[in-house]
Amino acid sequence: MIIRIAKKELTEMFRDGRFRLLAGMVLAISLLSLAAGWKNYSELSRQHTMAKEATRAQWLGQEKKNPHSAAHYGVYAFKPKSQLAMIDTGVDPYMGVAVWLEAHKQNDFKFRPAQDRTAVQRFGEMTGAEVLQVFLPLFIVLMTFSAFAGEREQGTLRQVLSLGVSRRDLALGKALGVALGLGLVLLPATVFAVLALAWTAEGGLVSGDPARGVLLAAVYLTYFAMLIAVSLAVSATVKSSRLALIVLLTFWFANSLVASRAASDVAGWLYPTPSAIEFQKAMDADLSDQTPINERLERRRTELFSKYGVDNVDALPIAFSGISMQEGEEHANEVFDEHYGRLFDRYEQQNRVYQLGGVVAPMLSVRAISMGLSGTDFAQHRHFAIAAEDYRRDIQRLMNGDIAANQKKGQVYLADQSLWSQMPDFDYTAPSTAWAVGNHTASFGVLAFWTIAALALMVRSASTASAE
């Protein structure tokens, strides 16, 4: 019976001119957003590869110079793009995709695409994630608001129930019919997305960990099932299709458009972060404090004197200047870890508030999971930032260690490519799917709660729905 009801609903939808019009619009927007995402990903990946090769060639191509000068010469570290960033760009346009690695500094990320766009361009940016999170829920609302209420107004609901059809089967059949209609609309876009991912399968997160893509698809399908259930529950509960449309549009507007900004504002209010000027000022104050550096140097000097049995730095078999510079780097590293760690922890706290907002607006949970699986959330940005900073520190240790080993008093020491080549190229390994899921367990739990509650509400509402 459920299958027969689903076929009936699907047939009626395809006969409905509204469905054909809306389906065509949604399909067109979906394909355009995916095509734009694929083009953007392909171009950025090409630029990333070229830039990475260029910065490596520049590093190896340095002329003879003091290793400390090479440390200041520095290199760029480029954040690789996930294949799923074709669908969900997440925070990447706002956090940046490259960082300059040099001595004494932990620099901010550069090349934020959002900085090069006008306010209108940022507002009008269309990604696959925006289509899935905003337009498809609206499509579901417009296709389901009259499922029960409309039949009640036309008098057909009483006729159907008089034939012995159970209310539960009727609700499940209608839900399946809408789901099939939605699936047919999404099928061409899904095929396009799969082909795009296959075309770019040389690298990226999906090629190495396809579970991300499978899980992302499952999350959106679950979200759509939940929305269908909520819409049918409302249609079965209210007395008129007009009221059902008003209620569902209000829910869609609050859930898809208002909730994200509201949750961000609440998170920022609960866990405020310093301005860029305040942050830099506080960090500079700690960096300029000479007391910790002097204490570190004194301890290191004492250790070396004891190790080599001497009583002054000139008698050491190594250049203390290299040791001194490295101790300065270690002090700066502690300051960077404290300040950036505190700042990043605040961002993580804000993200947790955002995820918990999914209890009120489930789209927040879906958006958080989508960015996490696409490798474009803040957690993965932080993961990359830490990896890039570790690489920067390895460069400084290598350069300063070489100075300590080879610098002779009264001589100008110059190193060559044999030293530069000892530093391997920066090769970032993205975290696993399990790691990404672990960062969003709360969102997965909230989405599961909403889905179970919505399905139960749909069945209950249909079971108690009035036929009049």
40-51 confidence digits (pLDDT tens): 888 888 888 899
383 is in which domain, residue-wise? 2-464
Q: Is the pLDDT of residue 60 over 90?
A: yes
Assess whether pLDDT exceeds 60 at residue 202.
no
pLDDT for res 118: 38
pLDDT over 60 (residue 206): no
Measured CA distances, 47 to 90, 98, 194, 234 (Å): 19, 12, 23, 49
pLDDT of residue 344 exceeding 80, the answer is yes
Q: State what percent of residues in the chain have pLDDT above 70.
A: 94
This prediction's pTM? 0.90
- pLDDT confidence of residue 77: 93
Rounded to whole angstroms, how far apart are CA atoms 169 and 175?
10
Confidence band of 114 (pLDDT split at 50, 70, 90): very low
* Band of pLDDT at residue 205, cut at 50, 70 and 90: very low
CA dist 384 and 429 (Å) reads 9
pLDDT in tens, 279-299: 999 999 999 988 888 999 999
**Residue recorded with tokens 């550069």:** 110
Q: In angstroms, what CA-CA distances link 243 with 197, 239, 248? A: 42, 7, 9
Cβ contacts of residue 368 below 8 Å, gap of 6+? 351, 354, 355, 358, 377, 440, 443
C-alpha angle with apex 174: 169 to 175, nearest 5 degrees? 100
Residue 15: per-residue pLDDT:
82
pLDDT band at 158 (very low <50, low <70, confident <90, very high): confident
Q: How many CB atoms lie within 10 A of CB 443?
A: 27
Mapped onto helix, strand or coil, the DSSP state of residue 78 is strand
Largest CA distance in the chain: 104
pLDDT score for 110: 66
In the predicted model, what is the mean pLDDT of residues 160-186? 85
- Number of domains the chain contains: 1
Contact predicate 28/36, CB 8 Å = no
pLDDT digits (tens, 9 = 90+) for 393-439: 999 999 999 999 998 887 888 999 999 999 999 999 889 999 999 99
pLDDT digits (tens, 9 = 90+) for 374-388: 999 999 999 999 999
- Cα-based distances in Å from 194 to 87, 199, 207, 208: 11, 9, 12, 15
Per-residue model confidence (pLDDT) at position 227: 96
Looking at residue 42, its pLDDT comes to: 86
Instruction: Answer with the residue of higher pLDDT: 73 or 206.
Output: 73
pLDDT of residue 463: 82
Mean pLDDT of 313-334: 91
Closest by Cα among 333, 366, 368, 334 to 351: 368
What gap in Å lies between CA 18 and CA 38, rounded to an integer?
30
Residue 116 pLDDT level (bands cut at 50, 70, 90): very low
Q: CB atoms < 10 A from the CB of 180, how many? A: 15
Q: Is the pLDDT of residue 154 over 90?
A: no
What 3 state SS string does 179-211 have?
HHHHHHHHHHHHHHHHHHHHHCCCCCHHHHCCH
pLDDT of residue 207: 52
Query: In degrees rounded to 5, what are phi and psi of residue 99?
Result: -140, 140
Q: Please tell me which residue, 380 or 113, carries the higher pLDDT value.
A: 380
Average pLDDT, the chain: 88
